[in-house]
Chains A and B, each alone.
Chain A
Amino acid sequence: MKALAAFWMRLLAFTLLALIAATVLFEKQSPPKTGVGGDGLPSAGTLGPVYASQTQVKLVDLIPASLSGEANQDSEPFLAIQTANPQVMVASAFTPNPVSSTGNAPVYVSQDGGNSWVLNAITPVPRMTCDITHAMPTGENHPRGDLHAGTLACAASITLDESESNDVSSSAVMNVQSTRSNVDQPFVRALGISNADHIYVGINDFNQPNGRTATVDVSVDGGATYKSFSIEARNTAGQDGPSVRPAVAADNTVYAAFFGWRKFNGKTATSDVVVVRDDAGGTGPNPFQALRDPSDKLPGRLVVKRVSIPWSNAPTLGQERIGSTLSIAVDPNNSSTVYVGWADRGRKGDIYTLHVRRSTDRGLTWSKADLPHTTISNATNIALAVANNGAVGLLYQQLSGGRWVTHIVQSHDAFATVQDVILANVPANAPVQQFLPYLGDYDYLLSVGNEFRGVFCANNSPDLADFPQGVTYQRAADFNTKTLTDGSGNPVPISIDPFYFSVPVIP
């Protein structure tokens, strides 16, 4: 009897052990939350001489549930975070008005820190913008504003509108404060100062004389008035490159980076990467002349000289075009430290190679070589940001093994050691492009509090293997069958969607 009892006890114990083991195994293999919510999953991917870290990543597909039937190429994302209340954010992409070719182009609005997003058709542009960037400095203290946007309208004459919304959830269309044509790629940064918003819009302005087209539009009165300043002091190949990127520090230091095109043959631009600086928020009569290059004593420090930048307005890097990716970021609490990143031809065999350099003396001198781990081949859409604790963030998208891989990299020591988290790893050959840019001519990264927040675009196939940190879809999606539906069970083709993410800043 004793032996029989012992046998049953052992069997019971073994069964319990097996059950526990099975439960643990099941939990490890289960998809994150319902298959559509990966919010807060651990497991950061890591590369190179890095320190592995358990990272809490929030990743959300911005397409709302009520637009589950859409299959647009919602590429080229951007993000604004309201300074006074970071729960309020605005994102954008090449998303058309959902119901009309004459209705206003929309923006995405979140009021809960990025957990949920709605689409609100408030831009001044009909149907869909063909460039849009924005910022929410809130110097004017509106609870769900102040959104300042630079938009291009897609029409026979491409027109820039610089506009404002005091409430991004209202139905009021943004108020156009300034407009002009013959410009390219507006890029908005802003700083709220007392009760006025200081707005800086980098523009490639073809109206500037002598082909010195790199321009910053400056407003120190919330957009009521703008002044345009060419920041190119040298002769060009008839114009500068499209990307003109401002960066603003809390102490009113404003940097701007641009591609000073010296030669252009239709396929390659021979370009300087130029950084200018102003120490008074661009308010003086001749701003952005604080930095001069030792070689010619002209305003604008040449970070690198005469690099070759391939220009291809056709699918070249996978299905993406290339020619002008550039980013600059300043430490918000130490305006002496500034990073600049760009892409050029790189080494033989590379299509497009990213580089990052740093200055710690207000742009006077720059690292002579790329910072460690920042020479990245076959990649684009570089975006830099610096957190309050000095950690630098680097967002980029790399074509690797037939897939677009989106990285967010952080470092405390100028990339000597890094934390590299893969946000998305999706097929690069699907969907087929509807137009260019396929993913966007840029993506975006910001820091707020102890988070880096950003946006990128990617293939929206609901496949958890594509999103190593997990993902939340608002639109109807079945992660078991890896299919999208229109909310009524009908299949919807995969397309390019904008994704919002946040990651904790490394301590």
Chain B
Amino acid sequence: MNFSSSFFAGILWTALLAPAVAGLPQGQNSQAAVSQLGAVSFAGVPQSTQTIVVRVDSVLKKPPAVSLKKGDNVTVELKDPSAFQQGTQATFYTEGWIFGSGVAVKELGHEFNAGGASAAGAGTGETALGYTQEQISDQELRDRLNSADFVVIGRVTDVHRWTVPKSATPRRVSEHDPDWHEAVVQVQSVLKGAQVKGNKVVVRFPGRNDVAWVHSPKFEKNQQGI
């Protein structure tokens, strides 16, 4: 399970934990209080001393697919249950675990709310969350730029099927055949890497709408971007 899955926040100090969630592209953020220790909130979740049930006071952010609203009970698998008591209010940073009639998540970190949650605090939390999301978005872009060998701004001028050279590995027939295509990109400026001869680069991409490639970019003529 990767760290960057989701986070579930119980109180309002999300901004204070911004560095800890800087890699979290999406998730859940709610206000909640501990209602049961050593318990689970729905069948199908293994109960242990590390599981607690928290009641959601408000939802600040969540993936659209996940049904979670004020008053719902959520199971949290804690790293250190000794730090929690019934009634504790805290901000939990978590990743998804089990989805059934309710939601169960695994704690990545937490922050206690010494003063208790409040309606006014929820607004502060939303502001902090917005700031955090901006940071996450900027960090994601920085990460992508750092991992790329070559970054340009340009426009797609042509898209065509790639003809596999005869010297290449024998063609294999599979439902997952990528059906490679090529997009010719007219370079407007180079953000990273050396200058390009002729100001054109070719980007090879899978043209197939198979499940293996559904999340891969599909380029079209006249698209512009980084």
Query: Do A and B originate from a single complex?
Result: yes
- On A, residues with C-beta under 8 Å from B are 64-72, 75-76, 94, 97-104, 106, 109, 111-112, 116-121, 126-128, 130-131, 152, 154, 158, 167, 169-171, 173, 182, 184-185, 204, 206, 211, 238-239, 242, 264, 311, 313, 321, 323-324, 433-437, 441, 474, 476, 486-488
* Interface residue from B25, B101, B176 paired with A65 (Cβ < 8 Å): B101
A488: which B residues are within 8 A, CB to CB? 67, 69
- Count of residues in B whose CB is under 8 Å from the partner chain: 49
Contact check, A169 vs B1: say whether CB atoms are below 8 A apart. Answer: no
B211 within 8 A of A: yes
User: Bound state CA distance, A104 and B172, in angstroms?
Assistant: 28
Q: Known interface pairs A121-B97, A171-B106. Does A264 touch B66 (Cβ–Cβ under 8 Å)? A: no
Q: What is the distance, in angstroms, from A463's C-beta to the closest C-beta of chain B?
A: 21
Interface residues in B58-109 by Cβ distance below 8 A to A read: 63-69, 77, 95-103, 106
B1 cross-chain contacts in A, Cβ below 8 A: 103-104, 121, 171, 173
Partner of B174, one of A71, A109, A242, A434: A242
How far, in angstroms, from A486 to B95 measured CA to CA in the complex? 21
Question: Chain B residues with Cβ under 8 A from A324's Cβ?
Answer: 175
B179: which A residues are within 8 A, CB to CB? Answer: 313
Bound-state CA distance A104–B98 (Å) is 12
Give Cα A311–Cα B177 distance, bound, in whole angstroms: 13
A67 and B66 contact, CB distance less than 8 A: yes
Q: Are B101 and A99 in contact (CB under 8 A)?
A: no
Q: Would B98 and A119 count as touching, CB distance under 8 A?
A: yes
A313 surroundings in chain B (CB, below 8 A): 175, 177, 179, 208, 210
Contacts of A121 in B (CB 8 A): 1, 96-97
Is B164's beta carbon under 8 Å from chain A? no
Enumerate chain B residues within 8 angstroms of A94, measured Cβ to Cβ. 211
B155-176 contacts to A, CB under 8 A, are 170-176
Cα of A106 to Cα of B96 in the assembled complex, Å: 10
CB contacts (< 8 Å) of A99 on chain B: these are 5-6, 26-28, 63, 65-66, 95-96
Besides A97-B5, A206-B172, A311-B173, 12 more A-B contacts (Cβ < 8 Å) are A65-B102, A66-B100, A99-B5, A100-B6, A103-B95, A109-B44, A169-B45, A171-B77, A173-B1, A324-B175, A433-B209, A435-B209
Residue of A nearest to B178 (CB): A156
* Closest residue on chain A to residue B69 by CB atoms: A488
Q: Does B142 contact A (CB under 8 A)?
A: no
Bound complex: CA of A101 vs CA of B140, how far in Å?
13
In the complex, are the beta carbons of A184 and B4 less than 8 A apart?
A: no
The answer on a CB contact under 8 Å between A264 and B173 is yes
Contact B5 A100 (CB under 8 A): yes
Q: Is the CB of A154 within 8 A of B67?
A: no
Residue in contact with B67 in the complex, picked from A65, A102, A116, A171, CB distance below 8 Å: A65
Our pick among A67, A206, A239, A323 for the contact of B175 (Cβ within 8 Å) is: A323
Judge whether B44 and A204 touch: CB under 8 Å: no
Show 10 A/B contacts (Cβ-Cβ < 8 Å), sorted by A.
A65-B67, A66-B100, A69-B66, A99-B5, A100-B96, A101-B215, A102-B5, A103-B6, A169-B46, A441-B175
B176 and A184 contact, CB distance less than 8 A:
yes
B62 CB → nearest A CB, Å:
8
- Chain A interface helix/strand/loop/mixed: loop
Report the separation of the CA atoms of residues A412 and B26 in the bound assembly, to the nearest whole angstrom: 53
Question: In the complex, A204→B27 CA distance in Å?
Answer: 38
Q: Which of B27, B43, B99 has the most C-beta atoms of chain A within 10 angstroms of its own C-beta?
A: B99
User: How far is the CB of A301 from the nearest CB of chain B, in Å?
Assistant: 24
Using Cβ atoms and an 8 Å threshold, which residues of chain B touch A242?
173-175
Q: How far, in whole Å, are A418 and B65 apart by their CA atoms in the complex?
A: 41
B112 CB-CB contact with A under 8 Å: no
Q: Which of B28, B100, B101, B210 is the most central at the interface, judged by chain A CB atoms within 10 Å of its CB?
A: B100
Q: Which of B195-225 contact A (CB under 8 A)?
A: 208-215
Kindly state the separation between the CA atoms of A120 and B45 in the bound complex, as whole angstroms: 9
State how many angstroms separate the Cβ of B27 from the closest Cβ of chain A: 6
Residue of B nearest to A106 (CB): B99
Secondary structure at the B interface, as helix, strand, loop or mixed, is: loop
Q: How far is the CB of A116 from chain B (nearest CB, A)?
A: 7
Interface string of B20-59 (1 = CB under 8 A from A): 0000011110000000000000111110000000000000
In the assembled complex, which residues on chain A have CB atoms less than 8 Å from the CB atom of B95?
A: 99-100, 103
Q: Which residues in chain B, 179-197, are within 8 Å of chain A measured between CB atoms?
A: 179
Q: Which residues of A contact B2 (CB under 8 A)?
A: 100, 102-104, 126
Task: Kindly state the separation between the CA atoms of A118 and B44 in the bound complex, as whole angstroms.
Answer: 7
A64 vs B100: C-alpha distance in the bound complex, in angstroms?
Answer: 5
Considering the chains assembled together, what is the distance between the CA atoms of A67 and B98 in angstroms?
A: 11
Please, which residues of chain A bring their CB within 8 A of the CB of B211?
75-76, 94, 128, 130, 154, 435-437
Q: Is the CB of B67 within 8 A of A118?
A: no
Shortest distance from the beta carbon of A490 to any chain B beta carbon, whole Å: 9
Known: A476-B67, A487-B67. A65 touches B100 (CB 8 A): yes
| Distance, CA A487 to CA B59, complexed state (A) | 14
* Contact indicator A101/B68 (Cβ below 8 Å): no
A182 partner residues in chain B, CB cutoff 8 A: 172
Q: Which residues of the partner chain A approach B213 to less than 8 Å between Cβ atoms?
A: 154
Nearest A residue (CB) for B43: A116
Neighbour of B103 across the interface among A66, A103, A128, A239, CB < 8 A: A66
Closest-CB distance, A192 to chain B (whole angstroms): 23
Task: Select one of B4, B27, B97, B210 contacting A436, CB under 8 A.
Answer: B210
Q: State A43–B172 Cα separation when bound (angstroms).
A: 47
Q: Is the CB of B102 within 8 A of A66?
A: yes
Looking at the complex, which one of A69, A118, A169 makes contact with B65 (CB distance below 8 Å)? Answer: A69
- Most chain A CB neighbours (cut-off 10 Å) among B63, B177, B209, B212: B212
**B98 nearest CB across to chain A (Å):** 5
Determine if A152 and B212 form an interchain contact, defined as CB atoms under 8 angstroms apart: yes
B67 to chain A, nearest CB (A): 3
The reply to whether B106 and A116 contact each other, CB–CB distance below 8 Å, is: no
A437 touches B175 (CB 8 A): yes
Q: How far is the CA of A167 from the CA of B46 in the complex (A)?
A: 10
Known contacts A65-B67, A99-B66, A103-B96; decide if A116 and B101 are in contact (CB<8 Å).
yes
Complexed CA–CA distance, A171 and B99 (Å): 12
- Indicate if the CB atoms of A158 and B212 lie closer than 8 Å: yes
Give the contacting residue for B98; candidates A68, A167, A169, A433; CB below 8 A: A169
Contacts A100-B6, A313-B208 hold; do A117 and B100 have CB atoms under 8 A apart? yes
Chain A residues with CB under 8 A of B170:
211, 238
Contacts of B1-16 to chain A: CB distance below 8 A: 1-2, 4-6
